[in-house]
């Protein structure tokens, strides 16, 4: 922390003073990642001295685009830790301003980055009563309350009827508790159930359930409107005023109703909320009307229809179930439960709530309580006043001496004989008359009005919910084809396009849909949403992520899991084929989103559980000793930047893809102040490139003073537990003869270090070379120039380059930036261009399918089997299936067939197939003079030639050039040196046309063989050959023939 002289309160810390009456003076700065931000000078903090540090403030924790241009940025660790600037100026970023990049529809254009609506600009925001409680109650109080509730209690009796209502309330209450926990774990934006599920479980679950949930709400509009239209048509029939016929009248009335509801919705949320209040008043009056009616004394007509007022005998008779016509408890429950599926009505407009975190839990749970009690109270009142069967005939009076038995004992004791209902169907009573509520009410038409209110309020809630959820889904751009519907209009960002789509779907189903068939599917869609909300709460709790800190504490993870299972069970209870269809659609959408991989990161519990599982599995693995049967190459790959050596990366990826660990590593050398920012910025960039190009590998980088020191660090510290590299893979140093001696010593030293740390070692050589970093840099430079040119063109055009029609941008735009770049860099000479072309072609060699040919394995030394295992792994890959294995081994003259048979037997035991085995029995022959001359010319610049000098002179030269090749060294290792030359001759003879050569790598004994002689061995051994892999295992078995 730097200190500067204080001016005794002359400035105020912006993070400490929340008022900021006077605007701060900003200056512009540029950061290493090309990000331009506005900064303000440091200020006197609450600590009494001048410092860059800031006190905690909510503005530091906002999302990057949530409050465009107003998110505060705390000073970075580098800004606090780096060397103090000489001029003494201290500055710190204060806000971030959007750079304008990214078009509408990019994955970043999601709900997280949308600027919240300013309530002071006239946007309508609801509290928990109007926004959640009223909507949920209206959605839960459906036509079931007035039409089918009496039938449910008639079939199940009030004993099991209470169980039906209680079980429904248990499912919805658990879901409400889970939803409350999720809602209070962070700011809730628009999107309702979709938002909650997607931010908890990720875009795969959220995207799949969001689409079917929005569709379910759209079709539910049609269902509720048809229910309203049917009631109206029944009234028209009663008074003989049908317009056309029954079915067409339903269609006409339904379409007119949807148009009116659409008008209310499009007019704005304020109008829709007022309409909901009016409907709630009507509904409450209708409910009170039922209670009042049951307390009034019954007329003779009502008695003949089964209504006798409150009677204990009737109440007790209706206690036991009396299932008829194949009905069971589960079928009755399936009919009632959809009435309870309105608990998301408030959450679905979460974007229009003043405080969604507080409103959704309070309003939803209270709505469940009130509606549950209402259903129970109405049902018990009817069960205590109306018998199950009645004829409706006022003359069916019990005569004196008539025995009271059978199913109508209570009615008989009250003076009515309904025994005929046991043999022939009756039209009245709980079991037969769906208009029981109208009969028992104080004023019948109010029940009809209540039915109208229940259907219209539910239809209106669904008509608002569907577009809101759909808009949130489209804004996240999970389904790119649907982004058209993300646009909002007006002060409330109303989804007008979504309203029109919902209207079209509703009208279509009113006109052509078989709603009796579709109804169970819609109920299952809602239940699937409930199940995932419960599972989201369980999953987040199970992951134990530190970010899971819901303010609402009255939940339990196992209760949430129970709720999810109950929802799944209820889905099958309602309709088994609809449940299967729901799961099928959801799985297909899940697979689609997974394959598309939307570029969003919401910190889902799925990520948290994946991390926990990975740590757990890694710990479990660390407790198990390695076994040869489970050996797989775990490669530490020295590629530099991930794009620098594509051929090396592609071949390593072929060894490890999906089955092993591959670390693409880079050593950055230079002053720490320069390379650390480069390394930190490159970490995510390189890993993203690997992911984007589907390379199953990790990127790692270290900053060190030397290449060998960095590689040594990677060799020792890379990996985690058993998941650590066991094989070093590196490219051959092609320029070793022209490189600095320190670079050669560092390269050979890395190979020595790999052997010391018991790594298997793999060296790849390609004649064209491996390093394409200079071409990558040139490409990036051209892309940067093209962007600058585009920016320049946009500045020269009106409206930022967005002109249309006659003002469309000219195709012959200014080329000054590109011209400047080209003139500075200049095109490469033809020879260099041709070399680059061959290099690019060779760099993609292992990315494409290999032609028919062979992979020649020269297994000369037993290194534990790695030289054989790696090429075998290649044969299991699709790209290499046409490249057959050929095995070459060294043998003694006269034993060729015996050696071949022994190798064939060994390969058979290893279960490794090969197309041919060749025994080389003339390795010991001296190489030709021409090839020896090539070797001598290769090492001539690095020889000491001390033998031709005097002793004192020779000793002096040897001390001055200890790294050079001595005559004594050449003499001592003459046979081994000649062996490398001879092997190259044999490789030229037998494997010149192979797709890949795999060859046992010679080892240089430390302290005996100089670095330059060893490089000469590797060079002459692999010279002028197809791509060649030099492999040396760590001499521990990686193959076994035991089971």
Angle between helices 192-201 and 149-183 (to 10 degrees): 50
Tell me the pLDDT tens digit for each residue of 345-387: 888 787 778 888 888 888 999 999 999 999 999 999 999 999 8
d(CA 496, CA 515): 26
Which residues of the chain carry a pLDDT beneath 70?
1-51, 58, 61-71, 77-124, 399-407, 513-516, 795-828
The confidence score (pLDDT) of residue 149 equals: 87
Phi, psi dihedral angles at 919 (to 5 degrees):
-100, 120
Q: Positive or negative, the Cα torsion across 823, 825, 831, 833?
A: negative
Phi, psi dihedral angles at 761 (to 5 degrees):
-125, 135
Residue 1014, C-beta contacts closer than 8 angstroms, at least 6 positions apart: 748, 1004
The confidence score (pLDDT) of residue 624 equals: 80
d(CA 133, CA 366): 7
Buried b (16+ CB within 10 A) or exposed e, 525-542: bbbbbbbbbbbbbbbbbb
Q: How many residues belong to the chain? A: 1043
Residue keyed to tokens 């390609």: 766
Q: SS3 of 669, please?
A: strand
d(CA 597, CA 204): 8
The token duo for 601 is 């990161």
Tell me the pLDDT tens digit for each residue of 618-631: 888 888 888 888 88
Tell me the pLDDT tens digit for each residue of 939-986: 999 988 877 777 777 778 888 888 888 888 888 899 999 999 999 999
d(CA 498, CA 214): 10
The confidence score (pLDDT) of residue 69 equals: 44
């Amino acid at each position: 922390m730097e200190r500067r002289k204080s001016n005794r309160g002359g400035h105020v810390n912006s993070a400490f003073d929340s008022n900021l009456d006077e605007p701060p003076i900003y200056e512009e700065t540029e950061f290493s990642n090309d990000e331009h931000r506005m900064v303000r000078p440091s200020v006197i903090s609450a600590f009494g001295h001048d410092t860059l540090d800031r006190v905690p403030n909510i503005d530091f924790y906002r999302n990057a685009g949530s409050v465009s241009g107003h998110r505060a940025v705390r000073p970075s660790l580098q800004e606090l830790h780096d060397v103090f600037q000489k001029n003494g100026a201290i500055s710190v970023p204060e806000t971030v301003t959007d750079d304008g990049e990214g078009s509408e529809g990019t994955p970043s254009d999601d709900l997280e980055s949308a600027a919240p609506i300013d309530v002071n600009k006239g946007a309508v925001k609801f509290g928990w009563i109007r926004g959640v409680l009223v909507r949920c109650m209206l959605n839960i109080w459906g036509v079931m309350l007035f039409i089918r509730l009496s039938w449910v209690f008639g079939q199940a009796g009030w004993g099991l009827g209470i169980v039906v209502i209680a079980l429904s309330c248990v499912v919805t209450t658990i879901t409400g508790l889970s939803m409350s926990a999720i809602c209070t774990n962070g700011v809730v934006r628009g999107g309702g159930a979709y938002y909650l599920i997607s931010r908890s479980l990720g875009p795969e679950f959220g995207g799949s359930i969001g689409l079917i949930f929005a569709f379910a709400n759209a079709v539910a509009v049609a269902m509720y409107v048809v229910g309203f239209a049917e009631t109206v048509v029944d009234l028209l029939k009663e008074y003989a005023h049908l317009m056309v016929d029954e079915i067409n009248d339903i269609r006409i009335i339904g379409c007119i109703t949807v148009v009116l509801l659409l008008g209310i919705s499009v007019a704005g949320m304020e109008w829709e909320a007022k309409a909901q209040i009016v409907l709630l008043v009507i509904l409450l009056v209708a409910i009170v009307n039922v209670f009042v009616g049951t307390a009034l004394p019954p007329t003779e007509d009502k008695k003949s229809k089964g209504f006798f007022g409150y009677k204990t005998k009737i109440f007790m008779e209706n206690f036991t179930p009396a299932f008829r016509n194949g009905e069971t408890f589960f079928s009755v429950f399936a009919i009632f439960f959809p009435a309870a599926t309105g608990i998301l009505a408030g959450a679905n407009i979460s974007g229009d709530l003043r405080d969604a975190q507080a409103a959704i839990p309070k309003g939803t749970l209270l709505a469940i309580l009130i509606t549950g009690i209402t259903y129970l109270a109405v049902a018990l009142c009817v069960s205590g006043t109306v018998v199950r069967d009645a004829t409706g005939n006022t003359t069916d009076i019990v005569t004196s001496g008539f025995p009271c038995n059978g199913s109508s004992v209570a009615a008989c004791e009250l003076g009515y004989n309904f025994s005929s209902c046991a043999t022939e169907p009756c039209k009245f009573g709980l079991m037969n008359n769906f208009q029981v509520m109208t009969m028992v009410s104080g004023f019948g038409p109010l029940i009809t009005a209540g039915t109208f209110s229940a259907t219209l309020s539910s239809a209106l809630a669904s008509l608002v919910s569907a577009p809101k959820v759909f808009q949130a889904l489209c804004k996240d751009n999970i389904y790119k084809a649907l982004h058209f519907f993300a646009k909002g209009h007006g002060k409330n960002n109303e989804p007008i396009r979504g309203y029109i789509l919902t209207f079209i779907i509703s009208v279509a189903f009113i006109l052509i849909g078989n709603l009796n068939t579709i109804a169970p599917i819609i109920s299952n869609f809602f239940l699937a949403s409930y199940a995932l909300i419960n599972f989201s709460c369980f999953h987040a709790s199970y992951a134990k992520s530190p970010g899971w800190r819901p303010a609402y504490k009255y939940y339990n993870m196992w209760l949430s899991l129970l709720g999810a299972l109950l929802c799944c069970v209820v889905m099958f209870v309602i309709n088994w084929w609809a449940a299967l269809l729901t799961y099928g659609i959801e799985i297909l959408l899940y697979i689609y989103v997974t394959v598309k991989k939307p570029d969003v990161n919401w910190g889902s519990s799925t990520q948290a559980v994946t991390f926990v599982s990975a740590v757990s599995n890694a710990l479990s693995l660390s407790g198990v000793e390695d076994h040869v049967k489970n050996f797989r190459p775990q490669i530490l790959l020295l590629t530099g930047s991930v794009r620098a050596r594509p051929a090396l990366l592609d071949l390593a990826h072929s060894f490890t893809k999906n089955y092993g660990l591959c670390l693409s590593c880079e050593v950055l050398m230079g002053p720490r102040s320069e390379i650390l920012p480069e390394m930190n910025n490159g970490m995510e960039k390189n890993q993203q490139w690997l992911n984007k190009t589907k390379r199953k590998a990790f990127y790692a980088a270290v900053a060190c003073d030397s290449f060998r020191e960095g590689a040594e660090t990677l060799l020792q510290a890379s990996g985690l537990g058993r998941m650590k590299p066991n094989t070093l893979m590196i490219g051959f140093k092609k320029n070793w003869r022209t490189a600095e001696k320190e670079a050669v010593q560092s390269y050979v030293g890395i190979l020595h270090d790999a052997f010391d740390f018991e790594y298997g070692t793999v060296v790849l050589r390609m004649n064209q070379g491996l390093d394409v970093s200079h071409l990558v840099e040139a490409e990036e430079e051209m892309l940067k120039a093209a962007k600058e040119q585009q920016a320049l063109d946009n500045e020269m055009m009106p409206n930022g380059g967005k002109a249309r029609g006659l003002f469309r941008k000219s195709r012959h735009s200014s080329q000054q930036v590109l011209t400047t770049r080209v003139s500075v860099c200049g095109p490469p000479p033809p020879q260099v261009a041709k070399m680059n072309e061959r290099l690019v072609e060779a760099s993609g060699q292992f990315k494409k399918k290999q032609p028919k040919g062979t992979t020649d394995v020269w297994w000369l030394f037993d290194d534990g089997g790695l030289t054989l295992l790696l090429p075998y792994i290649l044969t299991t890959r699709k790209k290499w299936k046409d490249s057959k294995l050929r095995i070459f081994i060294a043998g003694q003259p006269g034993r060729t067939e015996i050696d071949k048979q022994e190798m064939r037997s060994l390969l058979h035991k290893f279960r490794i197939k090969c197309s041919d085995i060749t025994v080389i029995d003339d390795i010991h022959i001296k190489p030709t003079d021409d090839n020896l001359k090539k070797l001598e010319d290769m090492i001539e610049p690095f020889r000491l030639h001390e033998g031709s000098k005097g002793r004192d002179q020779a000793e002096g030269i040897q001390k001055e050039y200890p790294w050079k090749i001595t005559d004594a060294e050449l003499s001592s290792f003459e046979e081994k040196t000649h062996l490398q030359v001879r092997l190259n001759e044999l490789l030229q003879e037998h494997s010149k046309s192979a797709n890949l050569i795999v060859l046992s790598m010679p080892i240089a004994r430390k302290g005996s063989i100089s670095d330059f002689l060893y490089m000469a061995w590797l060079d002459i051994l692999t010279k002028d050959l197809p791509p060649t892999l030099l492999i040396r295992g760590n001499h521990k078995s990686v193959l076994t023939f035991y089971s």
